Structure 1
Amino acid sequence: MKVLFIGDVVGRVGRRMLKEKIPHYAEKYAIDFIIANGENVSYGKGLTKNHYFELLEAGVDAITLGNHYLSKKEITRYIDQADRLVRPLNLIKAFPGEGSVVFEIDGISIRVTNVLGSAFMKEEVNAPYYSLITLLDEGQPTNVHIVDIHAEATGEKQSLAHALDGKVSAVLGTHTHVQTNDAKILPKGTAFISDVGMTGFVDGILGSDAETVVNRIVYGKKSTFVTPEKGRGVFSAVVIDIDDATGRAKQIFPIYFQENN
C-alpha cells in the first residue's frame, strides 16, 4: 500500500495547493490512500464542516487534527457524523469523535491515529505513548497503522517513533510547519519523519502573513496572525510504501513543491 500524507494544510492557499497537487502526485506514485493534517485548514485554525467536505471532495481519505481541534466550535456538532475525521486520541477531557479510525481499502485495513505531544505544548494530555499502547492492546488489529504525532519537540517525536518501532507502520510528525530532512525507516520497519511540513502560503511565516507574526514575536505588540487568502503556495508531504502483509514500511520519501514567482 502506498500512502500520501500531506502536512498541515493552512488556510485558503493550503486548500488550493492540496486540490491542485493531489491528482498529480496520486497518479505519479500510484497512491492508494491519502491523509491530510487539517487542523489549520479554516482560516489558519481549526476545521469547519464545509472545509471538511472540501478536502474529501479533493480526494483526501482521512483528516487528522492537532492542538487547534476545538478552534472552530462547530466541530462538536458535526464530528460524530464525520467518519473520516480523526481528532487527538489522548485528550484528558471527554470529547466527541474518535482519536483512531480504521478504514478498508481493497481488502486492506488501515488505521489512522492522531496524538498530541506533551513537551512545550499548552494542552494537558495523557501521555501519547501509553495512550497508543492501550490502543494497540485493546483495538482491532489492522494491516497498516499510521500515527500522526502533532508535537513541538523533535526529540519527543523521535522518542515516540523508536518506542513504537515495529508496532506501527509509520510515525509522522506534524505541527511545526517546517519539513525536516530526516525521513527514514527505523530498524524494525516503522517509517518516520520529525515533521512533514506545511501546505499553504510560502512567503510568510508558517503560513501566516509575516508582518503580523513579526509584530507579536519580535516587537511584542498585540497582533493577530493573519492567514493570506492569496499568494504563492507550498505543498509538503511524504509518500510511504508499506508491505500489506507485515505492516512494515519499505520506503518513505518527502515531497516539497514550491510555486514560482
Structure 2
Amino acid sequence: MRFLFLGDIVGRSAREAVVNTVPRLRQEWALDFVVVNGENAAGGFGITAAICDELFDAGVDVITLGNHAWDQREALTHIERENRLVRPINFPPGTPGRGQTLIEAANGARVLVINAMGRVFMDPLDDPFAAIDQALTETPLSDIADAVIVDFHGEATSEKMAMGHFCDGRASLVVGTHSHIPTADAQVLPGGTAYQTDAGMCGDYDSVIGMEKDEPVNRFVTKMPRGRFTPALGPATLCGVFVETEGNGLARRVEPVRLGGRLIKALPQV
C-alpha cells in the first residue's frame, strides 16, 4: 500500500494548501492513506472541530497532535467524539481521547496510527517507549494491523532516532514531528521500518518555524516579549514522507516530500 504523512500544519495558508493539494495527491500518487499532524493548525496553536472536518473532507484519514493538543479548549471534548483525532499516547491516564486508532484504509487495509510525545526538552510525560511497545504488542503488524504509522512528536533528534530503532521491524513508518524542519535522513531501517527524524512542517518557510519573523527574532535579541506569535501566511511548503509497503506491512521504500512554497521540491517516483 501507499501512504503519505504530512508534518505539522501551521496556520491558515498551510491548511488551505493541504486541503487543496491532498485530493490531487491521493489520485496522482494512488494513495491508500493520509495522516497529518494538526496540532498547530488553528492559528498556530491547537486544532478545532471545524478544522478537523475540513481536513477529513479533503481526504485526510487521521490527524495526530502533540504538545499543543489542548490549546483550543474544544479539542478536549471533540477528541472524545472523533476517533480519527489522536493525541500522544503517553499522556497521563484519564486524559481525554486516545493515543492510537485503527482505521480502515481506502484499499480495505487496517492501519494503526500511534501518536507519542518525547520527554527530552519536553513536558515530563509517561514513558513513550513503554507506551508504544504496549500498543505494538496489542496490535501487531501483519497480524491485526496491515500497516503501522508512528508519529513521534519530540524535540531531540537522538530520542527520535532511538524510537525509530526501537520500533524497527514492528512499524511501517516512524516519523518525527514538532521541530518544523525537514531532516535529510529518510531511510528504510534494517528491520524494514521507514524512518525520518522530522517530517518538517506544512507552512510558510519565510518565517521562524512557521511564525512571523519579527517577534521570535526580537525575543532572541532582547529577551523581552513585544507582541504575540502569529503564523506566517505566505505560500506554504507541504513537507512530509511518502511510504510504499510490502505485503507484510514493512516498507519497500520511503521518499521525502516537499511541495510548493520556498523549499527545493522533492517528490516520490510514482
What residue number does 2:108 align with?
A: 107
What residue number does 1:254 align with?
A: 256
Say if 2:33 is the partner of 1:33: yes
Aligned partner (choices 147, 152, 156) of residue 153 of structure 1: 156
Report matched runs for 1:1-261 at 5 Å.
Answer: 1-105=1-105, 106-121=107-122, 123-139=123-139, 141-222=144-225, 223-228=227-232, 230-243=233-246, 245-259=247-261
Instruction: Report the number of matched residues.
Output: 257
Q: Secondary structure at the match of 1:14?
A: helix
Residues 207-252 of structure 1, C-alpha deviation per residue, up to 9 Å, x if partnerless?
Answer: 1100011111232111421113x32221112100012x31110010
| 8 A Cα contact 1:91 1:124, kept in partner | no
Residues 145-177 of structure 1, C-alpha deviation per residue, up to 9 Å, x if partnerless?
Answer: 000000001111001111110011110110000
Residues 39-71 of structure 1, C-alpha deviation per residue, up to 9 Å, x if partnerless?
Answer: 000010100111111111111110000110111
| 8 A Cα contact 1:117 1:152, kept in partner | yes
| 8 A Cα contact 1:202 1:258, kept in partner | no
- In structure 1, C-alpha distance between the alignment counterparts of 2:91 and 2:138, rounded to whole Å: 18
Residues 167-188 of structure 1, C-alpha deviation per residue, up to 9 Å, x if partnerless?
Answer: 1111011000000000000001
Tell me which moved more, 208-217 or 144-153. 208-217
Q: Secondary structure at the match of 1:233?
A: coil
What residue number does 2:265 align with?
A: none
- In structure 2, C-alpha distance between the alignment counterparts of 1:56 and 1:23, rounded to whole Å: 11
- Give 1:93 deviation, angstroms: 4.5
| 8 A Cα contact 2:139 2:145, kept in partner | no
Q: Secondary structure at the match of 1:8?
A: coil
Unaligned runs of 5+ in 2: 263-270
Unaligned runs of 5+ in 1: none
Residues 67-98 of structure 1, C-alpha deviation per residue, up to 9 Å, x if partnerless?
Answer: 10111111112111112101110012421111
Tell me which moved more, 209-218 or 1-10. 209-218
| 8 A Cα contact 2:86 2:115, kept in partner | yes
Identical-pair percentage: 37
- In structure 2, C-alpha distance between the alignment counterparts of 1:236 and 1:182, rounded to whole Å: 14
**Higher normalized strand content (fraction of residues):** 1
Letter paired with 1:248: L
Letter paired with 1:190: T
- In structure 2, C-alpha distance between the alignment counterparts of 1:41 and 1:137, rounded to whole Å: 32
| 8 A Cα contact 1:117 1:151, kept in partner | yes
- In structure 2, C-alpha distance between the alignment counterparts of 1:159 and 1:218, rounded to whole Å: 34
Letter paired with 1:80: E
Give me the TM-score of the superposition, normalised by structure 1. 0.94
- In structure 2, C-alpha distance between the alignment counterparts of 1:40 and 1:130, rounded to whole Å: 26
